[in-house]
Amino acid sequence: MMALASLKITLMMFGVCQCQRLGPQLFTADRNITLLVRSPLQGEGGRLLRFMVTYLRLLSTLIVRVSKRLEHARRAARYLYKHNGPKFLRVKFTEDSLVKAFRWSIVELRHFRFLKSETVSEYELFTKCYKANLVWFL
């Protein structure tokens, strides 16, 4: 019985730690994607797609936490909203330059387009959720 209680406490502490790191993780993923899009390096296309998946997962988590009005989500949500969303969506680039630099196939390019469009729609959902809970942020 005591082991079960300590396991629950450990899991709760892990959950709190994960929540508190959500903002820095979002910022780091956004920064890495922006750097790879601005100056694509040969063979780094897989990393770019993984960072985009990570960013999308973290953004979805943030949306859930804002909708539940969890206190530790407030700072990350405020930062993301104040800076008009992911920076990598505002960077100007051509898909041709990414295809050449990363040596992507059509399939990988489709994955990139899909992840980018999903990020845009998730950010729009985040914005709606943030505005719906605006009183909470004051």
pLDDT digit string, tens, across residues 83-95: 999 999 999 999 9
What does the pLDDT read at residue 20? 62
Overall number of domains in the chain: 1
The rounded distance, in Å, linking the Cα atoms of 69 and 122 is 18
Is the residue at 6 inside a domain? no
pLDDT of 31 = 97
The reply to whether 18 falls in a domain is no
Would you place residue 21 in the very low, low, confident or very high pLDDT band (cuts 50, 70, 90)? confident
Domain assignment of residue 95, yes or no: yes
Give the mean model confidence (pLDDT) for residues 29-53: 95
Enter the tokens of residue 24.
């820095």
| Distance in angstroms between the alpha carbons of the first and the last residue of the chain | 43
pTM of the predicted model over 0.85: no
Domain of residue 105: give its range.
23-137
Q: Is residue 14 part of a domain?
A: no
83 located within any domain: yes
